[in-house]
Structure 1
Amino acid sequence: MLLADPNNPTGTAVDLDALEQFAQALSPECLLILDQAYCDFADGERAGRGLGLAQRLPNVVVLRTFSKAYALAGMRIGWCAADPEILASLEAVALPFTLTALAQAAALAALDQEAALFAQVQTTVAQRRRVRQELLAMNFEVPPSEANFLWLPLGAGRLVSPSGARGPGSACAA
């Protein structure tokens, strides 16, 4: 089972106790894979909480990326925390040479900048809160977010280009 926490595109996060109860209720053969790409932007105890679950429950796998908070989207690098048996199975089927030396060097350099990362994340979170408050003041419905973005449920739009063509990508059609 794959769960994005915080979710993309809503930015919502699952309650910590509910997440743990859900993980414990799963069959031991069922993996709970937590995609925590945005967890650095979560408030307080929510940040990085999946790691504790992965340490306590052998069927929980945590995926993290350097793409969001570390701003290394072009490097295509991340990491996984899981039970050693699961990691061994992943290594057995992993393709060789999927990471470039540049991506590895960039990730290691980013890890050395923890204070700068924390400051940047705090700035982003403060701006997320400020923008949400401004949008709420303008009577927009804006759910709380634990990511580096906000979701505005604006409803369905029109899929019509100025030429009258319909459907995704039709504006580029010859």
Structure 2
Amino acid sequence: MPILERLRAEHAPALLAFEHDNRAYFARSVPDRGDAYFTPSGFAARHASLLAEQEAGICHFHVVLDEDGSVVGRVNLIDVADGSAELGYRVGEHAAGRGVATAAVAQVCRLAARPYGLTTLTAVTTSDNLASMAVLTRNGFTPVRDITIGGRPGTSYVRRHLPPCDGHSH
């Protein structure tokens, strides 16, 4: 089963490979990160910025590693404030449909409560992303309202009373 780790500087090469290898796959459902993100200097600057935000307690970033150490996903808590944060996640094409996202989100739900001290998580997804909606529902998130994401219809979700997450985690 994949391993969740807090983002560190040494994850950069594997993370860049993950993002590069899945660029077209991700672009089908979320806005593309742009060419500058994938350049060595652009990625290094962005990675350093994420680590600084994490150090400041503004965000909590995680990578999901396969047994061989390759990155197969990301799960992030952003905009941490007043006991709340927004959950975001992505799983690579080759790991999709294997329960990786569900398990990783469950692990982050537990971390959100302790050690991060959060009580509420929010998330959004487009209405055509049935897999993402299933991950959120399996992890105790409930739909709150319809929204628009990048010009596409979507739904906003919330999860209160962390933890425990349900029994889908390993």
Q: Give the TM-score taking structure 1 as reference length.
A: 0.25
Q: Higher helix proportion, which one?
A: 1
* RCO higher in structure (CA 8 A, sep ≥6): 1
Larger Rg: 1
Q: Higher strand proportion, which one?
A: 2
Q: Give the TM-score taking structure 2 as reference length.
A: 0.25
